[in-house]
Amino acid sequence: MPELPEVETTVNGIKKHLVGLTIEDVWTDYNSPLHTKSDNIKNPEYFKFFKKEVIGAGIADASRRGKNVLVHLSGNWTILIHMKMTGHVMYGRYEFAPGPRGGRWVATEIGPLRDDPFNRFVHFIINFSNGESMALADMRKFAKVTLVKTNELGSSPHLSAHGPEPLDKSFTVKRFKETLRKKQNSPVKTALINHEVISGIGNIYSDEILWRAGIHPLERVKNIPDKKWPAIWKAMKETLLEGIDFGGDSMSDYRNIHGERGKFQERHNAYRRTGEKCKKPSCGGVIARIKVGGRSAHFCDRHQKPRHRRQLRKLIGK
């Protein structure tokens, strides 16, 4: 699932290329009987409302909240896109190719938009006045697209449960510690990826943060010593900013708005490096993998040793 750096990379691309464009038409083949009463475009009746409201509107700005892309329109509407497991937003020139299943949208120019197989699963299109389009590719069709009143974003049920933004200047070490300690009995990995605690961190970046800070993913929040909190906070800030600097992580489906892969996967220290030597100088450890709350966690078996081994054995059932 795209996390904060991937979503931020997408938002930056939208701000650079889409602001000032006018929406001429929208299309989707999302149509699920499971969403007949929902307020997203998978509900055909809602899509009719969505289409009526956005056609003719201009792209005024874009921002991010947690893992949500927010495309602000002229007037008082914001298009909210949650890319979920396999979604990513792209921008370019597309044409509709009729086919036996109703047809599909295809990028017309040679390059990643057209040639990367992960970019071919287009299920939502916005056509602009300049002949270009914004496309949402979503292989597993889990993504969410809806409309929220711009002046009601903070109270929207789509966003109101989100915790603080980890890169905000106001999110100090003290506030970080207080926030995580609301889940004092949780493993620290579980607390970090809980969007109601902190927004935007998922499986990849939580592993990398804890590797940098030297904290075992199963360490309970209440057992983290005071002297360790600045290290975790610093690792969080540095890791997320590095993810943005390298254009996000494309180990799986994520692509930027040009359909290109990010490069953060080339800088993994822990995530999906099971059995490989730890990259920390003079460590000598090996990256191991365990399950934490049903999610995979990758860590070094040497410099991320838990402080309470008896508790750890109980948690992993050994």
Give strand pairing partners of 147.
79
> CA-CA distances (angstroms) from residue 15 to 9, 62, 67, 148?
10, 6, 17, 19
The question of whether 67 is a catalytic residue gets the answer yes
Contact 54, 23 (CB under 8 A): yes
Q: Which amino acid is at 98?
A: P
- Classify the phi-psi angles of 193: left when phi > 0, otherwise alpha if psi is within -120 to 50, otherwise beta: alpha
- Please pick, among 15, 295, 302, 305, the residue that the annotation labels catalytic: 295
- Is residue 3 among the annotated active site residues? yes
* Active-site pick, 42, 65, 67, 261: 67
- Catalytic residue at 277? no
- Per residue, the 3-state secondary structure of the chain, as one string, reads CCCHHHHHHHHHHHHHHCCCCEEEEEEECCCCHHHCCCCCCCCHHHHHHHHHHHCCCEEEEEEEECCEEEEEECCCEEEEEECCCCEEEEEECEEEECCCCCCEEEECCCCHHHHCHHHCCEEEEEEECCCCEEEEEECCCCCEEEEEEHHHHHHCCCCCCCCCCCCCCCCCHHHHHHHHHHHCCCEHHHHHCCCCCCCCCCHHHHHHHHHHHCCCCCCEHHHCCHHHHHHHHHHHHHHHHHHHHCCCCCCCCCCCCCCCCCCHHHHCCCCCCCCCECCCCCCCCEEEEEEECCEEEEEECCCCCCCCHHHHHHHHCC
Residues catalogued as catalytic: 2-3, 67, 295
